Structure formats: C-alpha cells, structure tokens
Amino acid sequence: MSILAILVLWECLSLFEVVPNYMLPSPAQTVEAFIGDFWLLMSHLKVTLLETLLGTVMGVVIGYASAMLMDRWEPAYKAFYPIVVLTQTIPAVAIAPLLVLWFGYKMMPKIILIILITFFPIVIGTLTGFRSADKDAINLMRSMGASRWQIFKHIKFYNALPNFFSGLRITVAYAVVGAVLAEWLGGFAGLGVYMTRVKKSFAYDKMFAVIFLISGISLILIWLVDVLQKKCMPWENAEPIKRKRDENKWIKN
C-alpha cells in the first residue's frame, strides 16, 4: 500500500510539474523507457548478474572460512579482526577507481570490489554466531570427549546459521550495488555502463528504469536467501515443540 502511495505521489509531482518533467519522469514514462530498452537492459543485466554471482560466492566462501579460522585460532582473531573492521572504513567509491586502474576495465576489478563489500557481513555475522554458542553445551561435549570438529558440527554450525543468513541478505543487496558502482567507473558492459551512457544523454526516464531494475533484482535475491534459509532451517517455521524436535534431529544427523 505504501509503495502504491509513493507511485501516486510521484505521478502527481510529474503531472503537475512540481519538479520539471525532464528531471523527474513519471512512472508511466519510466515503464515505457524500460519496455523500449528491454533487450538492451537484459544484455547488460547478464554481465552484472555474472559479476554479482562470482563476487558473492567468493566473498561468502572467503568470509565463512575466515570466521572459522578466527573462531578456532585466537591469534588469528587478534591479528585479522582489526583488519576486517578497517576494510569497512574505506569507502567503496574510493577503492573502485584504483581497482579499475590496477586490473583494467574487464570483469576482474568488479569481482574484487564485490568480494570486499560482501566479505564483511558474512565474516562478522558468522563469527558472532560461532562465539555465541551455548558454553554449557560445548563444555558438556568436551567432557564426553568430543573433538573440535564434532563441537563445530553439532553446536556452532547450527548456532551460526541465523547470523549467517542475516549477513547473506545484506551481502546480496550490497553485491548488486557494488557491481553497478564498479561498472559506473569503468567497463564495457553492465547496468552501470548503461547508466553512464543514458546519463550523458540526459535520458532520465531510462535512468529511473535501470534504478528500478537494480532494486527489483536486489529484492529477488533477498527473497531467494529467505527461501534458502527456510530450506536449511526448517525447524524455524515449525510449532515450538516440533521445532525443538526437528532441531535436535538435524543436529544429531
């Protein structure tokens, strides 16, 4: 309902030219621009999605592995955690031009920027999940002779799942934005390249069309993460008693 209200307000602002029409095209003009450039947008979208997929997968793998290392080995935590935090104090818009300068205008700098953006939410969220595991349960397993791997498999892994998926939601949203940002600063194809071209021609209706396309892709990716979480954590959607039974069954397996 709120989205519909925003669209109506937007249409009124454009219709009565509260903001000049060439600066704020109406929703109808935006849809028309999207349909008119549909196939061109799809060709650029394929490049952006490929960069997003590669960068996100690599960022998630590196982030999860780093969280495991810092949780397992305290010296690694003390050495790398400040560096992980420090990486987030440098704006992505400042790093992107350097990556383009160092690695050229192809796909490599885009993937590296996406890894840098997506790495942080995964490693912080997962590490928090590992370290917030029930200490009593861990001590009980140790007293029964459980190995570190068994403690990780049966307690820490499942305890970190909610944090991991929370970080993954942030990751997939940032990944698309990161890819577009890197393309904006240099490249041969992708939605960011498309945006720079239509901006230079003052085609703001096409600018709004690609902005809404990026937002739509981000929402779809977040929805896919929700679906994946429900598949990986079926006990979360069960009744309280059944949820506890299902959780115990998954942990035993």
Res 61: pLDDT: 92
Highest-confidence range of 26-35, 79-88, 113-122, by mean pLDDT? 113-122
- Rounded to the nearest 5°, which phi and psi values hold at 19? -115, 135
pLDDT tens readout for residues 128-169: 888 887 788 878 878 887 777 888 888 888 888 888 888 888
Residue 197, pLDDT > 70, answer yes
Average pLDDT over residues 105-126: 85
pLDDT tens readout for residues 88-115: 777 777 777 777 778 777 788 888 888 8
pLDDT tens readout for residues 41-61: 888 888 889 988 998 899 899
Band (pLDDT 50/70/90 cuts) for residue 117 is confident
Residue 40, pLDDT > 70, answer yes
* Pair 160, 126: CB distance under 8 Å: yes
pLDDT tens readout for residues 141-150: 788 877 778 8
Whole-structure pTM over 0.95, yes or no? no
3-state secondary structure of 231: helix
- Cα gap 123→60, rounded to integer Å: 8
* Pair 96, 182: CB distance under 8 Å: yes
- Cα gap 214→225, rounded to integer Å: 17
pLDDT tens readout for residues 182-196: 877 777 778 888 888
pLDDT tens readout for residues 199-239: 777 777 888 888 888 888 888 999 998 888 888 877 766 65
Res 110: pLDDT: 84
Band (pLDDT 50/70/90 cuts) for residue 21 is low
Side-chain-side CA neighbours of 57 within 13 Å: the count stands at 5
**Residue 214: closest CA among 34, 57, 93:** 34
